[in-house]
Chain A
């Protein structure tokens, strides 16, 4: 496809992980321009670009920045690089391939918000990527893009790469702040929101890696041009990670709104081994399942919401006709049980309850009454938990149960998984 790229426009250029290599393709020009523009103009440009958060909640970035109370300092910027959504690996690509593009974006945002400390919270499992970013940050310091008196101005900016240690929940922004403060990564009560009382009780903005990686382009090329890449409702381009039963899994940058799931599937080489498409999960492990009838839905926030799911963190997990959805659901629920922080009752006990029932169901020893129990438990969790983790732990199960009821029912009392048993016979 020959659409214009934003995040991956420099793909293939040599030495992108070094300051020199990045400067050769026009790197850090955005930061220089941003400093000339001044904070207010940057915020206006970001607002004009229509950029929305890429972490999952899709909140307009410019508006989020606008929530910071005026004249309260110090303020902090935190970069959410705790990418741990199942099926999602775009931030990893951005950090591995374009670390300086991210740092430039961070510095632009830091300048726009007039913060003096920018923290990049990177998940513990990304040890290699953390060291890579630390190296890149050191280079940026040396080149005068960070540290005391950035590019000869009076503005100081510390870049601190902070490694997590294995907790999915730290992707939730207040949990991330707690983790960054050296506490248990458990979400905080809102209000107060981080924009008012965040890190160390000061106004704080938390942005996703992909969100900030867009900033160099937006600043150099202008917000309007960025917005025009997508549609009015879903401006710009976006990285989508396609994985699961496809021929060529990978990350693809596509314009939003103008692309459909089918296009994306084709980019990834279609369903593997010549099998039939059965279901897909857009937006990563948290989101509701969609079926073949949704393949022509465009990658647009509203359209996907109307189809009953969400674009979430920009991942697409494709399942072919040999897939047992009960197995997939059980796998996801186990994940949530493992990652529940234990703070609130419905999530802590609910995910345990859910996963025990899913195990019984998957093993074919559950009764139909237990299936009803399962949806009842999910109903008692959804919207009742302290943070969205508990909600998302129910979404896949609920939607799969709605869309493929006969598959769940066929497991009840079957003694084993009928889907996989069937596919074994067929093979």
Chain B
């Protein structure tokens, strides 16, 4: 079987980053996670062909990479929303009302847990690990930033601000 070469489909900077990570570790295989992060940063998710690219770059088989990418919960194999909302529902947050927060956001955004809004702006996730901000419970993490001590109104406010800060031409 002739495998299509997909390396062109990636930004050269991403590819360079993958190669840099490959040479950083004592064993190239260690660069699988950083390489997947680099691709997800560019494409927002990991299409099957990108796993083959990683495999080729690191001298692995595509199956090896899929075994890894599917194990970790933060890699997507489908296109998520432009922003990812993670609502922590573990013990500390649960004790301080994260269920109500999630229910409110589900209603407000019109999506179920795990769904993406119709405008593609947000993917809502309520099944995440403890996000390590129990001191500010309840909290949510939007992309890489934490928003703590939330109540439904404050969460709405935060998300409205994020939505409005997007370039207008997306509307």
A residues sitting closer than 8 Å to B (CB atoms) are 74, 83-89, 91-92, 117, 123-128, 131, 158, 160, 162-168, 179-186, 200, 241-245, 249-251, 281, 285, 315, 317, 319, 323, 327-328, 331-332, 334-335, 338-339, 341
Contact = CB atoms under 8 A, between A and B. Distances in A.
B43 interface: no
Contact of B29 (A183, A243, A335): A183
Contacts of A85: 130
Given A92-B133, A243-B135, A124 B74 contact: yes
Given A86-B92, A323-B95, A241 B128 contact: no
B12 interface: no
Contacts, number: 151
A63 B31 CA distance: 31
Nearest to A165: B72
Contacts of B131: 125
14 contacts: A87-B130, A88-B134, A125-B128, A125-B129, A128-B145, A182-B32, A182-B68, A183-B68, A241-B135, A244-B137, A249-B92, A250-B135, A328-B91, A334-B127
A387 B25 CA distance: 27
A69 to B, nearest CB: 19
Given A162-B34, A163-B34, A244-B91, A92 B132 contact: yes
A243 B92 contact: yes
Interface in B9-26: 24-26
B118 interface: no
A336 to B, nearest CB: 11
A245 B29 contact: no
Contacts of A317: 91-92, 95, 134
A124, A125, A131: residue with the most chain B Cβ atoms closer than 10 Å: A125
A160 B132 CA distance: 22
Contacts of B137: 243-244, 249
A97 to B, nearest CB: 13
Contact of B132 (A125, A164, A249): A125
Contact of A315 (B27, B134, B136): B134
B67 interface: yes
The range of chain B's interface size is 35 or more
Contact of A163 (B37, B73, B136): B37
B168 interface: no
Contact of A165 (B24, B31, B73): B73
Given A88-B130, A183-B67, A332-B90, 7 more contacts: A164-B33, A166-B129, A183-B29, A186-B71, A244-B134, A281-B91, A323-B95
Interface string B134-146: 1111000101111
A243 B98 CA distance: 14
Interface in B23-71: 24-27, 29-34, 36-37, 58, 67-68, 71
A85 B90 CA distance: 10
A127 B144 contact: yes
B104 interface: no
A247 B85 CA distance: 27
From B25, B34, B96, name the one whose CB has the most chain A CB atoms within 10 angstroms.
B25
Q: Which 5 pairs show the lowest CB-CB distances between chains A and B? A: A165-B72, A182-B32, A166-B74, A243-B134, A166-B73
Contacts of B37: 163, 165
B147 interface: no
Contacts of B141: 125
Contacts of A117: 26
A126 B132 contact: yes
Contacts of B71: 167, 184-186, 341
A88 B134 CA distance: 7
B151 to A, nearest CB: 15
Given A183-B68, A244-B92, A285-B91, A86 B74 contact: no
A328 B33 contact: no
A166 B130 CA distance: 10
Contact of B94 (A84, A158, A167, A328): A328
A86 B89 CA distance: 10
Nearest to B58: A182
A285 B30 CA distance: 30
Given A128-B145, A166-B72, A89 B135 contact: yes
Contacts of B94: 327-328, 331
A110 B74 CA distance: 30
A181 B29 contact: yes
A162 B25 CA distance: 10
A88 B25 CA distance: 30
Contacts of A182: 27, 29-33, 58, 68
B54 to A, nearest CB: 10
A61 B89 CA distance: 33
Contacts of A92: 132-133
Best-buried of B73, B96, B134 by chain A (most CB within 10 Å):
B134
